[in-house]
Structure 1
Amino acid sequence: MAGDPLITVSAIAFVRADGRVLTVRKRGTQRYMLPGGKPEAEETAVETAVREVHEELGIDVRPDELALLGSFDSRAANEAGHALRATVFVTRAVIEPVVQAEIDDLRWVDPAHDDADQAPLNSEIVFPTLVGLR
Structure 2
Amino acid sequence: MPDIIRIAAALLIDGQGRTLLVRKRGTQAFMQPGGKIDATETPAQALVRELHEELGLRIDPAGARHLGQFSAPAANEPGCEVHAELFRVDTCDAVNPAAEIEEVIWLEPGQPVVVQLAPLTRDWVLPLYRKVLSAPR
Does the CA-based 8 Å contact 2:53-2:98 persist in structure 1? yes
The residue matched to 2:31 in structure 1 has which SS? coil
- Per the normalisation by structure 1, the TM-score is 0.92
Identity across aligned pairs (percent)? 37
- Corresponding pairs, count: 132
The Cα shift of 1:56 comes to 0.8
Does the CA-based 8 Å contact 2:11-2:129 persist in structure 1? no
1: CA distance, partners of 2:127 / 2:69: 14
Does the CA-based 8 Å contact 1:71-1:86 persist in structure 2? yes
State the superposition RMSD in angstroms.
1.3
- Per the normalisation by structure 2, the TM-score is 0.90
The residue matched to 1:7 in structure 2 has which SS? strand
The Cα shift of 1:101 comes to 0.7
- Aligned match of 1:87 in 85, 88, 108? 85
The residue matched to 1:100 in structure 2 has which SS? coil
Gaps of 5+ in 1: none
Amino acid at match of 1:77: A
Does the CA-based 8 Å contact 2:15-2:91 persist in structure 1? no
Structure 1 segments of 4 or more deviating over 3 A?
Answer: 111-114
Gaps of 5+ in 2: none
Determine which structure has the larger strand proportion and give its number. Answer: 2
1: CA distance, partners of 2:111 / 2:93: 22
